[in-house]
A and B are shown apart, each in its own frame.
Chain A
Amino acid sequence: MSKTQETEGEERKIVTFTLGKQMFGIDMRALIEIREWEEPTPLPGVPNYLKGVTNLRGSVVPVVGLAERLGWAPSVLHSRSCILVVAIGERQAGFLVDEVADIVAIDGADIQPAPDVEVSEQSAIAGLVRIERRTSDAGEAETMVLLLDLDALSLTRQVMELAA
Chain B
Amino acid sequence: MSGGDELDEIQAIFFEECAEGLATAEAGLSAMASGDTSSDVIAGVFRAVHSIKGGSGAFGHGALQAFSHRFENVLDEVRAGHIAASADVTRIMLNAFDILSDHVAFAQTGGSAPEDAAMLEQLDAVLAAKGAPAAEPAAECAPAPAADADEFGFTPVMAVIEEFDPFGFEPVTVDLEDLTATELRGWTVRFGPSRAALANGGEPMLVIRELEDMGGTVTHVDTSRLPGLRDLDPEDGYLVWTVGLPASVEEQAIRDCFDFVAPDSLIEIGRDEAGASEPAAVDMPVTVAVSAEPERPALTLVADNVPAAPVAEKPRAEAPAQTIRVDLGKLDQLLNLVGELVIRGSILSDRLSPADQERVELPELSRLTRQIQDNVMSLRAQPIRHAFSRVPRMLRDLMGETGKQVLLETTGEMTEVDKGVIEKIGDPLTHMIRNAVDHGIESTEERIAAGKSAEGTIRLSAEQKGARIIVRVADDGRGINRERVRAKAVERGIIASDAQLSDEEIDGLICAPGFSTAESISNISGRGVGMDVVRSNVEALGGRLEIHSVPGQGTTFSMALPLTLAILDGMIVRLGKQRFVLPLANVIETVQPAPGQVRATSPTSEVIELRGNYLPVRRIGEMFGLPCGNQPEDCLVIIVESEVAGHVGLMVDTIDNRREVVIKSLEDNLHPIRGLGGATVLGDGSIALILDIDALVVPASSKFALKGMAA
Contact = CB atoms under 8 A, between A and B. Distances in A.
Interface string A50-94: 000111011111100000000000000000000000000001110
B151 interface: no
A91 B668 CA distance: 7
A61 B685 CA distance: 13
Interface string B663-689: 011101111011110110100011111
Contact of A43 (B340, B668, B673): B673
Interface in A80-118: 91-93
B572 to A, nearest CB: 13
Nearest to B339: A58
A41 interface: yes
Contacts, number: 68
Given A57-B340, A59-B336, A59-B664, A41 B669 contact: no
A41 B666 contact: no
Contacts of A40: 687
A41 B578 contact: yes
B685 A45 contact: no
Contact of B671 (A42, A61, A155): A155
A46 interface: yes
Interface string B327-348: 0000000001101100100000
A93 B671 CA distance: 12
Given A58-B681, A59-B336, A60-B668, A41 B673 contact: no
Nearest to A91: B669
B345 to A, nearest CB: 13
Given A58-B343, A59-B664, A60-B664, A45 B673 contact: yes
Contacts of A143: none
Contacts of A45: 624, 673-675
A92 B578 contact: no
A55 B674 CA distance: 20
B668 A59 contact: yes
Nearest to B625: A44
A52 B664 CA distance: 15
B669 A61 contact: yes
Interface string B621-635: 001110000000000
A110 to B, nearest CB: 33
A144 interface: no
Given A41-B687, A43-B676, A57-B340, A62 B578 contact: no
Interface residues on A, range: 20 to 34
A34 interface: no
B679 A53 contact: yes
A162 to B, nearest CB: 10
Contacts of A62: 669-670
Contact of A41 (B623, B625, B686): B686
Contact of B687 (A44, A54, A155, A156): A54
B689 A43 contact: yes
A46 B625 CA distance: 11
Given A58-B343, A58-B681, A44 B669 contact: no
B10 to A, nearest CB: 27
A159 B671 contact: yes
A45 B620 CA distance: 13
Interface string A125-162: 00000000000000000000000000000011001000
A82 to B, nearest CB: 18
Contacts of A59: 336, 664, 668-669
A41 B668 contact: no
Contacts of B681: 55, 58, 60
A60 B679 contact: yes
Contact of B623 (A43, A44, A61, A93): A44
B710 to A, nearest CB: 12
Contacts of A61: 669
A10 to B, nearest CB: 26
Interface of A: 40-46, 53-55, 57-62, 91-93, 155-156, 159
24 contacts: A40-B687, A41-B578, A41-B686, A41-B688, A42-B578, A44-B623, A44-B625, A44-B676, A44-B689, A46-B673, A53-B670, A53-B679, A55-B681, A57-B340, A58-B339, A59-B668, A60-B666, A60-B668, A60-B679, A60-B681, A62-B670, A91-B668, A155-B671, A159-B671
Given A58-B343, A58-B681, 16 more contacts: A41-B578, A41-B687, A41-B689, A42-B578, A43-B676, A44-B624, A45-B673, A45-B675, A53-B666, A53-B670, A59-B664, A59-B669, A91-B669, A93-B669, A155-B670, A155-B671
